[in-house]
Each structure stands twice: as structure tokens, then as C-alpha cells.
A and B are shown apart, each in its own frame.
Chain A
Amino acid sequence: EAEVAQSPRYKITEKSQAVAFWCDPISGHATLYWYRQILGQGPELLVQFQDESVVDDSQLPKDRFSAERLKGVDSTLKIQPAELGDSAMYLCASSFAGGAYEQYFGPGTRLTVT
């Protein structure tokens, strides 16, 4: 069964450092999402891509976060500089298209900022 892949699974970094996460969606899925899940809370959408274009980044802290999906396949989420409050699980999801299609989630990257 096809799955969404994410790496690394765990990342520890010091504040003010740069950190990057990678996501490989299910093959053929045009829509890709990045979520942040703070411990004890539900996931919150950071950015949504349709192919290589951003369709929603209203909740992305653009002063320090950036996301790209250059060829419309895999994607990278970057934080620079990292802050203590960025400690969270970063989840990637993909779906065949937007609308009512089911989103499939990867295992996430757990980030700890010290």
C-alpha cells in the first residue's frame, strides 16, 4: 500500500539554527499539505500545494518558515531560525486532488528545539 514518506522522523536542533523537513507524497497525488501539531492539540494547516503552486499559506509564519514543491512532487519545509516554540510534530499529507478527496498522512517529523 502506498504511503506518504517523511524524513527525518526526529530532529533536535538548537534555537536560531536552520532545520528542514522532507515529504514524498503518494505517487499521483496533486495536492500536498504541511501541518503542525503542538503536543496535546490537533494538527493545524501551515501550507497547501496544488502541484507546484501554493494555494493556502495563510497560517504559515512567513518570517521564518518557507515551503517549496519545485517539481510538483516532493516538498521541503524549512524553518530559519528555529525558536523554542517551534517544537512540535510536523505532518505531511497528500490527496489525489483538493475538494473532497481523502488526505493521507505521513508519520510526521518530531522537532525539538533546545
Chain B
Amino acid sequence: AQSVTQLDSHVSVSEGTPVLLRCNYSSSYSPSLFWYVQHPNKGLQLLLKYTSAATLVKGINGFEAEFKKSETSFHLTKPSAHMSDAAEYFCVVSQAAGNKLTFGGGTRVLVKP
């Protein structure tokens, strides 16, 4: 079985300050981990993915995430938030051998001017 817990349902940051979105996972297999972003009235877009290569993964739009097996975490960070980063973010786990995605509950990010 696999599951994902996003530790914050809402995060509020000021433009230009760092963003941290926390994610813990549980998986019986070597997991693949993803972060997706969902803007209002838009489809989910892949930000980045971890598939057992480098533990620090760089994604689009300046986001990166670090896989920490000992902590079963895959936190998402960005050094400087932009207004366009306001959206909902989902941490996702899948079995390495398959492609069934299990989504966390989401973190809604608000960026203040």
C-alpha cells in the first residue's frame, strides 16, 4: 500500500520569500515521487519527479525537491516566490513498477504582494 501526507493544507508567503511545501510518503516499494501543480481552471502540470536517481531533483519554474529516504519525505522548495506560483500543489507517489498515482490532499499556496 502507498499513501501521501501533505503536512500543510494552506501556505501563505510574501512575494520574493522562500516557499516550503512539506510531504511525507509511505510505500511498500521503491517509490517514484512527483509534485504536480494545479492552477484554477487548468489541468494538473508536472513540476518534477524522483525515480531513484539523484536525491535532489530540479523542476520547472525554479522548484526543487529533495528525497530523504530516512525521513520518508519529499519536500518541495523554491528560493523566491512569484505571484504566478499561487496555486494548489500535490505530492504524489507511485509504485516503481507500475504507474498508479496516489495523491496527497494538496497544499494551497497564497502569495502576497
A residues in contact (CB < 8 Å) with B? 3-4, 31, 40-45, 48, 56, 91, 93, 95, 98-108
A100 to B51, CA, bound (A): 8
Q: How many residues of B contact A (CB 8 A)?
A: 23
Q: Specify the chain A residue showing the minimal Cβ separation from B97.
A: A99
**B99 to A99, Cβ gap below 8 A?**
yes
User: Chain A CB within 10 Å — which of B32, B96, B101 has the most?
Assistant: B101
* CB under 8 Å from chain A, chain B span 64-113: 90, 92, 96-101, 103-106
Give the contacting residue for B99; candidates A42, A100, A105; CB below 8 A. Answer: A100
- SS class, residues of chain A in contact with chain B: loop
List 6 contacting pairs A-B, 8 Å CB cutoff, sorted by A.
A45-B101, A91-B43, A95-B99, A100-B96, A105-B36, A105-B43
Measured between C-beta atoms, what is the minimum distance from A60 to chain B in Å?
Answer: 13
Cβ contact within 8 Å between A42 and B98: no
CB distance B104 to A42 under 8 Å? yes
- Tell me the complex Cα distance, A43–B94, Å: 13
Q: Are A41 and B98 touching (Cβ within 8 A)?
A: no
Residues on B with beta carbons closer than 8 Å to the beta carbon of A31: 99
Q: Which residues of B contact A (CB under 8 A)?
A: 4, 32, 36, 41-46, 49, 51, 90, 92, 96-101, 103-106
In angstroms, how far is the closest chain A Cβ from the Cβ of B90? 5
Residue of A nearest to B108 (CB): A40
User: A40-B106, A42-B90, A99-B99 provided; 14 other pairs, C-beta below 8 A?
Assistant: A4-B43, A40-B105, A41-B106, A42-B4, A42-B92, A44-B103, A45-B101, A91-B43, A95-B99, A100-B96, A102-B46, A107-B41, A107-B42, A108-B43
Taken together as a complex, chains A and B put the C-alpha atoms of A40 and B41 apart, in Å, by: 14
Smallest Cβ-Cβ distance to B6: which chain A residue: A42
A43 neighbours in B (Cβ, 8 Å): 44, 90, 101, 103
The 3 closest A-B pairs by CB, nearest first: A42-B103, A105-B43, A105-B44
Q: Chain A residue with minimal CB distance to B90?
A: A42
In whole angstroms, how far apart are the Cα atoms of A48 and B36 in the complex? 19
B42 to chain A: which residues have CB within 8 Å?
107
Chain A residues whose C-beta falls within 8 Å of the C-beta of B36 in the assembled complex: 105
